[in-house]
């Protein structure tokens, strides 16, 4: 079994120290990493990376942000991937998600969070400096969808759902994670939030972006919601 990682960046000619450290960590795990710089679309970038490899169905693919730092040891990290993806009914795994995707299609919906419907944990730090905030969403477990800072799945899962952008999306960078993981869920696979220890060097303040709202509206218009496990 081979493990691949695709890291997509928007416009950087040179990768940051955080990204370089992430690549070094993946190398210590024996993971074959593809860094896609100056990309115009995260959908297109991930699809291009996946389509460029002669993979086996049991190979593992990681799709992740370029601004994360994994705190687990390489042995711990690989063990979690192997254990969580061993079941053929598992779709995507990641550090955070929700058991209920409401009509607003916002996975971190605050009301649902207060009800204990979210799963997982992520550490946040703005631009690699300052206080590290531990955001606990809930216990690990099965979810409808996952946040896209880190996603992992078997190649067979990715082949089944496809990575291309839906025609109804106008934005090139938004709601890919919800789309991918919901498609896996709709295909009868079980997505799971697992405790992969990592820092996201961003507070994720992108919801005000016009393209995020456009893709969210399009997703709502083309998806039967609510959706729950």
Radius of gyration of the chain (CA): 16
- Can you give the pLDDT at residue 204? 62
Residue with tokens 């711990």: 76
Tell me, rounded to whole angstroms, the distance of Cα 175 from its chain centroid: 10
Bond prior to 226 in cis (omega within 30° of 0)? yes
Q: CA 212 to CA 204: how far, in whole Å?
A: 12
- Pick one of 3.90.550.10, 3.40.50.850, 3.30.460.80, 1.10.10.10 as the CATH number of 3-228: 3.90.550.10
What sections of the chain are H helices per DSSP? 17-28, 42-51, 74-85, 110-114, 155-161, 176-186, 210-221
Element counts in the chain: helices (H) and strands (E): 7, 15
Reported as a single tens digit per residue, the pLDDT across 37-67 is 889 999 999 999 999 999 999 999 999 999 9
- Kindly state the tokens that stand for 162: 């496809």
Query: At 148, is the pLDDT very low, low, confident or very high (cuts 50, 70, 90)?
Result: very high
Query: At 202, is the pLDDT very low, low, confident or very high (cuts 50, 70, 90)?
Result: confident
Residues 31, 152 contacting (CB under 8 angstroms): no
Tell me, rounded to whole angstroms, the distance of Cα 224 from its chain centroid: 22
Cα-based distances in Å from 191 to 55, 179, 185, 211: 22, 13, 7, 26
Cα-based distances in Å from 187 to 90, 132, 134, 181: 11, 37, 32, 10
Q: Are strands 190-193 and 141-143 parallel, antiparallel or unpaired?
A: antiparallel
Residues 151, 62 contacting (CB under 8 angstroms): yes
Task: Please name the helix (run of DSSP H) or strand (run of DSSP E) that holds residue 144, with its range, or none.
Answer: none
Reported as a single tens digit per residue, the pLDDT across 10-42 is 766 678 899 999 999 999 999 999 999 889 999
Query: At 130, is the pLDDT very low, low, confident or very high (cuts 50, 70, 90)?
Result: confident
Q: What is the mean pLDDT of the chain?
A: 94
Q: Could you list the beta-strand ranges (E) of 37-132.
A: 60-64, 68-70, 90-94, 96-98, 100-101, 118-124
């Amino acid at each position: 079994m081979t493990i691949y990682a695709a890291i997509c960046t928007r416009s950087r000619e040179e990768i940051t120290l955080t990204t370089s450290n992430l690549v070094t960590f993946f190398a210590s795990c024996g993971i074959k990493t593809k860094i896609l710089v100056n990309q115009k679309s995260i959908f297109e970038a991930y699809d291009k990376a996946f389509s460029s490899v002669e993979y086996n169905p049991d190979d593992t693919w990681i799709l992740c942000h370029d601004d994360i730092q994994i705190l687990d040891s390489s042995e711990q990290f690989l063990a979690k991937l192997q254990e969580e993806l061993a079941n053929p009914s598992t779709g995507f795994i990641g550090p955070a998600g929700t058991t209920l995707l409401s009509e607003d299609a916002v996975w971190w919906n605050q009301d649902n969070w207060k009800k204990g419907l979210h799963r997982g944990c992520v550490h946040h730090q703005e631009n690699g400096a300052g206080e590290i905030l531990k955001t606990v969403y809930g216990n690990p477990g099965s979810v409808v969808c996952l946040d896209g800072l880190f996603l992992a799945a078997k190649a067979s899962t990715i082949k089944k759902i496809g990575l291309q952008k839906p025609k109804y999306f106008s934005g090139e960078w938004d709601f890919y994670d919800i789309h991918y993981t919901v498609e896996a869920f709709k295909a009868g696979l079980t997505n799971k939030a697992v405790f992969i220890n990592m820092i996201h060097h961003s507070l994720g303040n992108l919801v005000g972006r016009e393209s995020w709202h456009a893709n969210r509206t399009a997703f709502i218009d083309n998806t039967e919601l609510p959706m729950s496990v």
